[in-house]
Amino acid sequence: MTSFNNEKEPLTGADIPFIPTLSSTFPIEADIKNKPEEYAEFQKLPGYAFDPETVNRSKHTLDFTKPISKHGWSEKLVLITGGCNGIGRKTVVDLAQLGATVVVGDIAKDGEDVVAQMREESGSDKIHFHRCDVTDYDAQIALFEFAQTIGSVTSVVVNAGVSELHKFLPPFTTQPSDPSAPPTKPNLQTLDVNINGAVYTIQLALHYLRLPGVFNQDRSITILGSVSSFLHMPRAPLYSASKHAIKAIFTELILMPFDKAHPIRINFVAPYFVGTKILPPTVIILLAGRPLTKVETVAETIVRLVDDGSGAVDADGKRIGGVRGRAFACCPEGVVKEVEVMEWGVSEAFSKRVISLLNFAAHCAGKEKLEIAKEVAGYVWSLVWPAKS
Ligand SMILES: NC(=O)c1ccc[n+]([C@@H]2O[C@H](COP(=O)([O-])OP(=O)(O)OC[C@H]3O[C@@H](n4cnc5c(N)ncnc54)[C@H](O)[C@@H]3O)[C@@H](O)[C@H]2O)c1
């Protein structure tokens, strides 16, 4: 039987070989740097070609002081889920006004009418609607196939979402309503839409964005999380769980080595409360008098991420391509803050080794068998006999 003794001293670097540091949410480099022994231990880990540039994350980030580029939009075909309301709707209008073609996949019954209104608002007839329930994988395939009949999808915005639709925690009491009967099975629709639906969209995006029609074009996936991907949200455990989960999936995606043949930029947007239909009336009452995030702020962040960043240049004026692997919290009063989801320098030992292995595989790709064998031997040797620092 496991016992829990909270009087015991917490584990230290001396107890375990490598401190499993949190590789998510907030920077912890300062913490570990203050513990020289652990830091030295960590630095001895083989970091074969471990470099943030080889994983799916750019060194540069969004620059909100620059106007959004007016160029290149006519070549973009953006597929967005949940584009008939709120954040998605504003994003669709903004993208269409810039000249992009937009395909909206939404479960909304009045989707055709909403799209007709959005065409009028934006002055663009390049907005298309395909009804789709994101929890149905075949329906999402049909959505992507529909988009491919219009052009080649270049950008995907994973936006469809619902709030806490069904309660699995009893309200204000821990007592079961009927002590003689077990509770009913929880309804997991919130997880179904916000996790499974989003995973289906990402899976299909990673396929369609690698099709020949978009070679040599900027390609991106923008994922809608929430501040509840990082913080707690009282009385919305399933919503909060779904948004934590999608952040975890984003983090996994950007850990992959950057594929130069298919440079798909993947970014994450985490809004604070926005006054859309997703907010139940009780939440709106509880937020009365507090500033909310504007739908315009979130839509602008998404549009900037869909933009290919062709204007971005380094100090020497060399083109550095678009932003990737970045997460942005959209706050009230038009403030957008970057959120650190991965502390690259002090990623935990397991992640570091996995990344180093993936990078190593990418490094060996295309080499002769004998050369690979030599490289593998060297790599394994570096794992069992880390270089002394
Ligand atoms: N509004 C906020 O306070 C807030 C805060 C943080 C994150 N977000 C996230 O932003 C995204 C957009 O939310 P919003 O505020 O615009 O909400 P919204 O309710 O205004 O719009 C959501 C859209 O998703 C569609 N949708 C819902 N279920 C679907 C399904 N099964 N298949 C296809 N489409 C479906 C709806 O029809 C609707 O058009 C969501 O992922 C949400 O979790 C919103």
CA proximity to 296, closest of 123, 87, 69, 99: 87
* Tens digit of each residue's pLDDT (9 = 90 or more) over 255-306: 777 777 778 999 999 999 999 999 988 889 988 888 999 999 999 999 999 9
Question: Is the shortest distance between the CB of 33 and ligand 1 below 6 Å?
Answer: no
Expressed in angstroms and rounded, the spacing between residue 277 Cα and the centre of ligand 1 is 8
The pLDDT value given to residue 96:
98
Find how far residue 147's CA is from the centre of its chain: 22
Element containing residue 6 per DSSP (H, E): none
**Does pLDDT of 21 surpass 60?**
no
Question: Is the shortest distance between the CB of 240 and ligand 1 below 6 Å?
Answer: no
Which ligand 1 atom sits closest to the C-alpha of 274? 3
Q: What percent of the chain has pLDDT over 90?
A: 45
Pick from 12-21, 30-39, 138-147, 288-297: least confident? 12-21
**Does residue 232 or residue 212 have the better pLDDT?**
212
Atom 2 in ligand 1: which residue has the minimum CA distance?
274
Q: How far apart are CA 183 and CA 35, in angstroms?
A: 48
**Probe ligand 1: pick from 110, 162, 295, 328, max atoms within 8 Å of CB?**
162
Cβ contact 306:155 at 8 Å: yes
Cβ contact 67:73 at 8 Å: no
The pLDDT value given to residue 4:
35
Residues 6+ apart with CB under 8 A from 355: 50, 55, 255, 257, 347
**Does pLDDT of 380 surpass 70?**
yes
The pLDDT value given to residue 196:
98
**Does pLDDT of 389 surpass 50?**
no
**Does pLDDT of 223 surpass 80?**
yes
Domain boundaries, the chain: 29-52+346-384, 58-170+186-341
Question: Is the shortest distance between the CB of 358 and ligand 1 below 6 Å?
Answer: no
The pLDDT value given to residue 66:
84
Expressed in angstroms and rounded, the spacing between residue 278 Cα and the centre of ligand 1 is 6
**Does pLDDT of 39 surpass 50?**
yes
**Does residue 135 or residue 321 have the better pLDDT?**
135
The pLDDT value given to residue 10:
37
Q: To which residue do tokens 């964005």 refer?
A: 209
**Does pLDDT of 134 surpass 60?**
yes
DSSP 258: P
Question: Is the shortest distance between the CB of 242 and ligand 1 below 6 Å?
Answer: no
Give 133's pLDDT tier (boundaries 50, 70, 90). very high
Domain 58-170+186-341 has CATH 3.40.50.720: yes
**Probe ligand 1: pick from 79, 81, 85, max atoms within 8 Å of CB?**
85
Could you tell me the two tokens for 177? Answer: 């309503």
* Tens digit of each residue's pLDDT (9 = 90 or more) over 345-358: 556 677 777 777 77
DSSP 124: -
Q: How far apart are CA 136 and CA 363, in angstroms?
A: 38
Q: How much is the mean pLDDT over the chain?
A: 82
- Per DSSP bridges, beta strands 155-158 and 219-224 are parallel
Expressed in angstroms and rounded, the spacing between residue 101 Cα and the centre of ligand 1 is 21
Q: How far apart are CA 275 and CA 248, in angstroms?
A: 26
Question: Is the shortest distance between the CB of 93 and ligand 1 below 6 Å?
Answer: no
Expressed in angstroms and rounded, the spacing between residue 275 Cα and the centre of ligand 1 is 11
- Concatenating the DSSP letter of every residue in 19-72 gives -----SSS--HHHHHT-HHHHHHHHTS--TT--GGGBT--SS---TTSPPP-SS
